[in-house]
Amino acid sequence: MNILAYTLLAYGMTAVISFGVVAVIVTVNRIFAAPGKEADDA
């Protein structure tokens, strides 16, 4: 595998992991938010 392919693969995996972590945090925040309160999306 050449360096360009490895670089793109590493960058892509970093982006996927980052978005995955953000999605998990937002989901947990909405699950544990009080039922009467709106989730703070700021």
Q: What's the pLDDT tens digit per position in 4-37?
A: 999 999 999 999 999 999 999 999 888 887 565 6
Q: Is residue 26 part of a domain?
A: yes
Number of structural domains the chain divides into: 1
Max Cα–Cα distance, the chain, nearest Å: 54
pLDDT at residue number 40: 61
Rounded distance between C-alpha atoms, residue 2 and residue 23, angstroms? 32
5: tokens are 């392919």
Contacts of 39 (CB under 8 A, 6+ apart): 29, 30, 33
Q: Is residue 8 part of a domain?
A: yes
Q: Is residue 19 part of a domain?
A: yes
Q: Is residue 27 part of a domain?
A: yes
Render the burial of 10-37: b for 16+ CB within 10 Å, e for the rest. Answer: eeeeeeeeeeeeeeeeeeeeeeeeeeee
pTM of the model as a whole = 0.59
Is 42 or 2 the better-scoring residue by pLDDT?
2
